[in-house]
Structure 1
Amino acid sequence: MKSKTQNNSRIGFNTNSEKLNGRIAMLAFIIIIIIEVTKNQSILKILNVIE
């Protein structure tokens, strides 16, 4: 018998996809900070979003 909190679906919102999404977001955040520190500019200026 499966519990209501257990979700074995491979598509949509489940525990594994949420963990992966969080890890990718944390990695991207750290990469953006490293770029901003090394270039001494904000990421928005580097991408020409603001001037």
Structure 2
Amino acid sequence: MICTKCNKEEAEWDNLCQDCWESWTSELWWASLGGVFETPEYVRLLEG
């Protein structure tokens, strides 16, 4: 089954691949904390 978000990777979790699943869950987690500057995209920039 193909990931429904990126249409590239093999889906593992609820039709999402590992990367999209982690991105989605971390977005939910930060949203629940009200984190603004700690979005996955921002963290990715920091981690380079």
Task: Specify if TM > 0.5.
Answer: no
Question: What TM-score comes out, normalization by structure 2 length?
Answer: 0.41
**Higher-helix-fraction structure:** 1
Question: What TM-score comes out, normalization by structure 1 length?
Answer: 0.39
Structure with bigger RCO (C-alpha 8 Å, 6+ apart): 2
Bigger-Rg structure (1/2): 1
